Amino acid sequence: MHDIVTLHVNDWKQQLKKGTLELAVLALLKAKRSYGLELLERLNEMEIEVSDGSIYPLLSRLRVEKKVSTEWVDEDMGHAHKYYALTPHGNRILRGMLAAWSDYAAAINRVAGKADNHE
């Protein structure tokens, strides 16, 4: 029985991650321009387990949507890195997403608090 619960919770966490990865990436890029692998490592350090198969298609879409800009930088280490930076448009989108996240998280916390009181 416990394995079924774990399976369902893990599936739910995957869906939650899919819905919030863009927010996390934009927030990290607001703090610092980064290349793809660096973003991947930072997200994983923060326990937002992401694979390169998820991050690079997202970064490509964000570039097409003009939320991020890209620049190739040769760091004298043998090869260049494609750096991603938040654009002014991306910053406006991020502010809206953060406000929406705050409202939604508060609502979920209210609902979860009511559920805890009825156990």
Residue 112 CB partners (closer than 8 Å, separation 6+): none
pLDDT tens readout for residues 35-94: 999 999 999 999 998 988 999 999 999 999 999 999 998 877 678 889 999 999 999 999
pLDDT tens readout for residues 82-93: 999 999 999 999
- Label residue 119 by pLDDT band (50, 70, 90): low
Residue type, 42: R
- Label residue 111 by pLDDT band (50, 70, 90): very high
DSSP state of 9: H
Give me the domains of the chain, ranges plus CATH numbers.
2-117 (1.10.10.10)
- Label residue 1 by pLDDT band (50, 70, 90): low
pLDDT, greater one: 118 or 61: 61
- For residue 112, what are its two tokens? 């979860």
Please give the Cα distance from 103 to 97 (Å, whole number): 10
Q: Is the pLDDT of residue 104 over 60?
A: yes
pLDDT score, position 118: 59
What would the 3-class secondary structure string for 40-107 be?
Answer: HHHHHHCCCCCCHHHHHHHHHHHHHCCCEEEEEEECCCCCEEEEEEECHHHHHHHHHHHHHHHHHHHH
Q: Which of 54, 69, 64 is nearest to 22 (CA)?
A: 54
Residue 74 neighbours by CB distance under 10 Å: 9
